[in-house]
């Protein structure tokens, strides 16, 4: 058995226990190798708002189908609330309701965009349907955030059409701030710190051709709605928004190309062997989503090209780490993760888990916000690590083909790597 060189680094704070899984790492956008700027620290105290997709047949979605996020985020240490949002009157399990915020007549609203009375709607009240334009739902969502949170920030997660609601809402508030009169009815600000779009048809879906509802027509490839949204490939809420797209080669409703057909900061595409379809079964329902064994393609801003891994997390865990950090990556000894020169990599490891990186020619490793981690050079004597001047919790490792990082002595460890 080959022995290994071991180095320990600790910080003072230990935070909540995270369940299972291999560590997953997130890359910040690069500046230059000589001047890497660290992004703001992860903020797990923000609320996370969930938006479902279209329901053509019943106009009723059940957020009970989202336990991977609703139960997973708190179990993994998320401090903010996880809040499903209702926009069809018969939606079940929601904690917030778009109907309660601003006018039903404004921004693509009016009688034709609503149903008067009927199932789940009190007599004389208006309800949204599949004939309610996406723009109008986004208007309500923007005001929900403005009314409830004011200057505070939130995160958003949208499945399928829910991702388009998020993108349009942020785009409209950004455009209003730049003086565009078309969006005068939107609030002055919308701080959406990070937005995850899962199986969202940013480039449209041909499946929409089988449905005559307004929302279906809006999601058809080349629709006027999508053409207008193309003018906002990376909309930024107040203070900036980080966009992460998730798609799948096995999604028969939204192609993997459509799911990333805008300008996200990072994306993951699950490969066919992962069996991630468009339904919520593998997106946010799967209770084994802490496992890290999914084959996927991954890209992050600053990377020269996408790379493949056989040890991706399933979507719920992936979403958690995407909200907590800028971008991600983790490898095994058989499939080590490549570090991009000059890019700061944030790591988060559970106790008993580890990640392996291609480290040549040199990499600086330092402790993050919490926990204690162990660094190993593979194989032993292949390289050496030494303290960095004026950075007591940092090590520079040179000549090491591979570095293994693992949590040790604590529930979770966080650390940062920069390849020279």
Phi, psi of 375 (to 5 degrees): -110, 130
Rounded-to-integer distance, Cα 332 and Cα 356, Å: 5
- For range 9-15, the mean pLDDT: 30
Same domain for 115 and 170, yes or no, is yes
With bands split at pLDDT 50, 70 and 90, how would you rate the model's confidence at 311? confident
Asked if residue 124 has pLDDT above 80, the reply is no
Round the CA-based radius of gyration of the chain to a whole number and report it.
Answer: 22
Please state, rounded to an integer, the average pLDDT across all residues of the chain.
82
Q: DSSP code of 182?
A: G
Structural domain containing residue 123: 43-324
What is the share, in percent, of the chain residues with pLDDT greater than 70?
82
Same domain for 335 and 350, yes or no, is yes
Question: Of 308, 324, 340, at which residue does a domain stop?
Answer: 324
Helix (H, G, I), strand (E, B) or coil at 297: strand
Q: DSSP code of 32?
A: B
Same domain for 374 and 301, yes or no, is no
Q: For the chain, give percent helix, strand, coil, nearest 5.
A: 20, 30, 50
Same domain for 30 and 148, yes or no, is no
- Token output for 27: 């890359």
Asked if residue 15 has pLDDT above 70, the reply is no
**Does the CA dihedral 203-312-345-416 come out positive or negative?**
positive
Question: Of 307, 324, 341, at which residue does a domain stop?
Answer: 324
**Does the CA dihedral 318-319-322-324 come out positive or negative?**
negative
> Contact 299/308 with Cβ under 8 angstroms?
no
Rounded-to-integer distance, Cα 93 and Cα 66, Å: 10
- Token output for 312: 């991706």
Asked if residue 9 has pLDDT above 70, the reply is no
Same domain for 61 and 106, yes or no, is yes
With bands split at pLDDT 50, 70 and 90, how would you rate the model's confidence at 342? confident
Give pLDDT, residue 5.
40
Give pLDDT, residue 358.
82
Maximum Cα–Cα distance across the chain: 77
Phi, psi of 248 (to 5 degrees): -155, 140
> Contact 363/403 with Cβ under 8 angstroms?
yes
CATH number of 190's domain: 3.40.50.1820
Listed residue (246, 241, 270, 276) closest to 258, CA to CA: 246
Asked if residue 62 has pLDDT above 80, the reply is yes
Alpha-helical (H) ranges within 346-398 are: none
Task: Please write the tens of the pLDDT for every residue from 360-402.
Answer: 889 988 877 666 778 888 887 778 888 888 887 888 989 888 9
Same domain for 237 and 91, yes or no, is yes
| Range from 37-46, 73-82, 128-137, 166-175 carrying the lowest mean pLDDT | 37-46
Same domain for 229 and 349, yes or no, is no
Q: Please count the structural domains in the chain.
A: 2
Listed residue (97, 92, 168) closest to 133, CA to CA: 168
Q: How many CB atoms lie within 10 A of CB 75?
A: 14
Buried b (16+ CB within 10 A) or exposed e, 160-174: bbbbbbbbbbbbbbb
Same domain for 138 and 216, yes or no, is yes
Chain length of the chain: 420
Task: Please write the tens of the pLDDT for every residue from 142-163.
Answer: 999 999 999 999 999 999 999 9
Buried b (16+ CB within 10 A) or exposed e, 143-153: bbbbeebeeeb
- For range 172-189, the mean pLDDT: 97
Same domain for 122 and 216, yes or no, is yes
With bands split at pLDDT 50, 70 and 90, how would you rate the model's confidence at 75? confident
Same domain for 120 and 243, yes or no, is yes
Listed residue (174, 166, 171, 179) closest to 137, CA to CA: 166
CATH number of 12's domain: 2.60.120
Rounded-to-integer distance, Cα 33 and Cα 22, Å: 28
Going from the C-alpha of 298 to that of each of 91, 224, 348, the distances in angstroms are 33, 30, 18
Question: Of 324, 340, 361, at which residue does a domain stop?
Answer: 324
- Token output for 370: 């919490």
Same domain for 89 and 79, yes or no, is yes
pTM for this prediction: 0.82
What is the share, in percent, of the chain residues with pLDDT greater than 90?
43
The secondary structure of 45-106 as a DSSP string is TS-EEEE----TTTS--BGGG-HHHHTHHHHTT--S-EEEEE-STT-BS-SEEGGGSS-SST
Listed residue (74, 71, 137, 134) closest to 104, CA to CA: 137
More confident residue, 143 or 118: 143
Give pLDDT, residue 328.
61
Same domain for 218 and 277, yes or no, is yes
Rounded-to-integer distance, Cα 368 and Cα 183, Å: 41
């Amino acid at each position: 058995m080959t022995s290994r060189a071991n180095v320990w680094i600790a910080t003072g704070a230990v935070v909540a226990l995270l369940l299972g899984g291999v560590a997953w790492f997130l890359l910040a956008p690069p500046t230059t190798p000589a001047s890497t700027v660290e992004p703001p620290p992860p903020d797990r105290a923000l609320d996370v708002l969930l938006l479902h997709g279209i329901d053509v047949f019943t106009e009723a979605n059940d957020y009970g189908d989202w336990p991977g996020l609703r139960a997973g985020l708190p179990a993994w240490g998320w401090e903010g609330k996880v809040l499903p949002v209702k926009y069809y009157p018969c939606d079940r399990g929601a904690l917030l309701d778009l109907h309660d915020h601003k006018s039903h007549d404004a921004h693509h609203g009016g009688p034709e965009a609503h149903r008067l009375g009927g199932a789940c709607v009190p007599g004389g009240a208006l309800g949204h349907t599949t004939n309610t334009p996406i723009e109008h739902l986004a208007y309500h969502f923007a005001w929900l955030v403005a009314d409830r949170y004011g200057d505070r920030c939130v995160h958003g997660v949208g499945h399928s059409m829910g991702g388009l609601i998020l993108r349009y809402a942020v785009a409209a508030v950004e455009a209003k701030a730049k003086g565009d009169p078309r969006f005068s009815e939107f609030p002055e600000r919308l701080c959406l710190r990070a937005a995850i779009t899962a199986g969202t048809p940013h480039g449209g879906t041909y499946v929409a051709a089988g449905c005559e509802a307004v929302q279906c027509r809006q999601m058809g490839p080349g629709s006027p709605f999508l053409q207008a949204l193309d003018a906002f490939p990376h909309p930024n809420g107040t203070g900036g928004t980080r966009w992460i797209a998730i798609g799948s080669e096995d999604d028969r409703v939204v192609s993997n190309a459509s799911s990333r057909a805008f300008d996200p900061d990072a994306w993951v595409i699950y490969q066919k062997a992962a069996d991630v379809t468009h339904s919520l079964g593998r997106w946010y329902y799967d209770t084994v989503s802490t496992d890290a064994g999914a084959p996927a393609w991954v890209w992050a801003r600053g990377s020269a090209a996408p790379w493949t891994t056989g040890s991706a997390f399933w979507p719920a865990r992936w979403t958690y780490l995407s909200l907590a950090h800028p971008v991600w990556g983790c490898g095994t000894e058989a499939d080590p993760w490549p570090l991009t020169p000059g890019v700061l990599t944030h790591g988060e490891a559970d106790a008993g888990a580890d990640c392996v990186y291609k480290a040549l020619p040199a990499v600086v490793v330092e402790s993050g916000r919490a926990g204690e981690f162990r660094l190993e050079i593979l194989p032993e004597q292949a390289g050496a690590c030494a303290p960095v001047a004026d950075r007591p919790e940092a090590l520079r490792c040179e000549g090491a083909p591979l570095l293994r990082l693992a949590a040790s002595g604590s529930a979770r460890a966080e650390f940062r790597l920069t390849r020279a």
